[in-house]
Structure 1
Amino acid sequence: MSNIQASATALEQAIRESDEFKDLKGAYDAVMTDEIAKKMFDDFRNTQMELQQKQMQGIEITQEEVDQARKVVETVQQHEQISKLMEQEQRVNELINNISRTITKPLEELYGSEA
């Protein structure tokens, strides 16, 4: 198991050193140093987390909450720095999803062979 853990640690480092992650960190830092962008981003994240918590608890989300969340998303997407941050986050998510597909391939092949 230690070989696998060592590989995982090396993969973590490779992600940190990737252009995708460096670009994400730069975009994140730009948002965090801009007072207006930071507040908008924090509001966006708080709205997102509140809705996710309600979903996980099985609490119904009202149409008013959906509309408010939509407005928050539209507002942050119009801010250039936050929009760039979201784009960079998407790139990192794609990278991690590709890695995840590679890692889980042995399981897919094992269980997929029975289907």
Structure 2
Amino acid sequence: MAVNVYDQANALEGALRKSDEFKTMKEYYEKVNANPESKTLFDEFREVQMNLQQKQMQGEEIQEEDVQKAQKSAEDIEKDENIKALMEAEQKMSELIQDLNRVIMKPIEELYGVNNEN
């Protein structure tokens, strides 16, 4: 009997949605969006981050002004408890996804002998 990997992936997606990590992240995301000050800070932070990433991807030099703006934005969001909690929840979700990626990649790593002392 063949295993449909996509069915398994869809089941995993459903499990992620039910996970405590995702539920916590969603709760804090909703709190950020419900608070006008938090939402404004969060949107500004994301815009600064996206602009920096875009410049990096296009090979543009990052100016000192860009770095200072990013640092100021990061400092501002650290002071906001809603955003701080959301970012902590994002970190936990990221750790979960990294753990899942290790599990998913295990057959390929074993096939090629990655991390084996052959």
What TM-score do you get using the length of structure 2 for normalisation?
0.92
- Mapping for residues 1-115 of structure 1, pairs under 5 Å: 3-111=4-112, 112=114
Query: Which runs of at least 4 in structure 1 moved beyond 6 Å after TM superposition?
Result: none
Deviations 1:40-69 (A, max 9, x none): 000000000000001111111012211110
Q: 1:114 to 1:107 in 2, by over 3 A?
A: farther
What TM-score do you get using the length of structure 1 for normalisation?
0.94
Q: Which has the higher helix share?
A: 1
RMSD in angstroms over aligned alpha carbons?
1.5
Fraction of identical pairs, as percent: 49
Q: Distance in 2 between matches of 1:8 and 1:77?
A: 35
Deviations 1:87-107 (A, max 9, x none): 000010100110011101111
Q: Distance in 2 between matches of 1:30 and 1:81?
A: 6
